[in-house]
Amino acid sequence: MCNHNTSFAVLMSAYEIDRGYAEAQSYVTWVLLGFSTIGLILTLAFLLPAKALRATRSAKINICFTLSLLLASLLFLVQDLFIKSDNTGIIKLKSVACAVYAMLQHYLWLVVFCWMVVEGFLMYLSLVQVFGSHISKYMLKFNLAAWGIPLPFPFIGYFVFTKHYSISDRQFTQHDYLADTMCFIKPESIPFFAFFLAPLVIVILINIVFFCLGGQGYQKFQKSSGTIFGSGANFATTEKQPWESWFSWVPVGSSVFLCPYRPLPSRQPCSISSSFLTAPRVALSSSST
């Protein structure tokens, strides 16, 4: 019998973890997941006070994703304080409280998966659909999707796969949703494969598609920017008008780069601002010939 958190990987494993490495896995879990939790807290500590950064779309989504992942990690870390495999903990195994705890963990991890999809979609908008990527009330829509879509899955998993029997004067309950030694989804069960592992696989596949589309869009940008820079340089050197500048608009992510070309011996680098890259105008004095 297991009397501790064997490993953080137990949540993702469809089969029972080898008990021979349970103690070592428990220490690794506490150390690595503890560092991850500290990192998540520091992420929020740095993002929340920065008002200008917090106002950006990517920062808002990162805050929501970090918060959901932090809640799920903390709930997993503290369960040893309340749940014991020998059923001596505050929360008894396969009780109503255990079911609530398991459903809450299940729900939070599904929320994390949904925010992963939102992150991938944001990358797609930033690299592929630069123009026309504005979404009205996007945070409201993203939050409704990320926190609302996973909501039915824990309830369906518990109430559909928990069956009650009565034989004579005795009541029996068959738990196909709750695990035997912890308050989480039972491994090798239909609820685990259908309502936890399958959503995870779908999320990974969707993000792979977004990643491929984003990489393809980035390659197209590199080719187009190289063409723009080359043609702009030739145009600037062939013309005999030292007081004029020619500009090329290059979309990158959610910003627009405004890069000028001048008939100077060496082109000046673009200066970086929050939404534009612009080169400062250079005052030239004409020399008499």
pLDDT digits (tens, 9 = 90+) for 96-146: 999 999 999 999 999 999 999 999 998 888 877 766 667 788 899 999 999
Residue 173 confidence class, pLDDT cut points 50, 70, 90: confident
pLDDT at 21: 62
Q: Which two tokens stand for residue 27?
A: 């220490």
CA dihedral sign, ordered 253, 258, 264, 269: negative
- Residue 285: other Cβ atoms inside 10 A: 5
Amino acid at the residue 5: N
Q: pLDDT per residue over 191-245, tens digit each?
A: 999 999 999 999 999 999 999 988 887 777 777 766 554 544 444 444 444 433 3
pLDDT higher for 62 or 126? 62
From first CA to last CA, the distance across the chain in angstroms is 95
